[in-house]
Amino acid sequence: MRRMAIGVLGLSFLSSVGLLVAGQARPEGGDGSKVDATIRGLIKAVDPERMSKNIFYLAKDPLPYRKLNLTLPGHAKNTLYEADDYLTGKLEAAGYHVEREGVQVQAFRRDTTKPKNAQYSPPKPEDPWYTAYNLYVEKKGRSHPDKIIVVCAHKDSQSWIDSPGANDNGIGTVGALEIACVLARYSPECTIRFLWCNEEHTPWTSKTAAQKAKERGDNIVAVFNTDGIGVKTAAETAAGKKTNVSAYTKPEGKRLAELMAEVNTRYAIGLEQRMVERTRPGDDDGSFVLAGYPAAIINIGSWPYGDPEYHSEGDVPERTDVKNAALTVQATLAAVVTLDQGL
Which residues are at the interface with Zn ion (CB under 5 A)? Answer: 1, 168
Please state the closest distance from residue 63 (CB atom) to Zn ion, in A: 17
Find the shortest distance in angstroms from Cβ 227 to Zn ion. 8
Count CB atoms within 10 A of the CB of residue 332: 26
| Cβ at position 307, least distance to Zn ion in Å | 10
Question: What minimum distance in Å lies between the beta carbon of 166 and Zn ion?
Answer: 12
Minimum distance from residue 117 beta carbon to Zn ion (Å): 9
Nearer to Zn ion, 141 or 175 (CB): 175
Least distance (Å) between residue 228 CB and Zn ion: 8
Q: Closest separation between CB of residue 223 and Zn ion, Å? A: 18
Q: What would the DSSP string read from start to end of 97-137?
A: PPEEEEEEEBPPEE-TTS-GGG-EEPPPTTS--EEEEEEEE
Task: Give me the torsion for CA of 306, 309, 312, 317, rounded to 10°.
Answer: -110
The burial of 89, by beta-carbon neighbours within 10 Å (0-12 exposed, 13-18 middle, 19 or more buried), is given as: exposed
Q: Closer CB to Zn ion, residue 267 or residue 310?
A: 310
Q: In angstroms, rounded to a whole number, what is the distance separating the alpha carbons of residues 50 and 177?
A: 10
Contact 57, 63 (CB under 8 A): yes
Q: Which is nearer to Zn ion, 173 or 264 (CB)?
A: 173
Letter string b/e over residues 187-208, b meaning 16 or more CB atoms within 10 A of that residue's CB = ebbbbbbbbbbbbbbbebbbbb
Q: Measured from the CB atom, is 295 or 297 closer to Zn ion?
A: 297
Residue 136's contacts (CB-CB under 8 Å, 6 or more residues apart) are 98, 99, 100, 101, 193, 194, 195
Helix (H/G/I), strand (E/B), else coil: 239: coil
Q: How far is Cα 191 from Cα 258, in angstroms, rounded to an integer? A: 22
Residue (168 or 252) nearer to Zn ion, CB? 168
Q: Bridge partners of 153? A: 196
Rank residues 1 and 260 by Cβ distance to Zn ion and give the closer one: 1
Choose between 96 and 310: whose C-beta lies nearer to Zn ion: 310
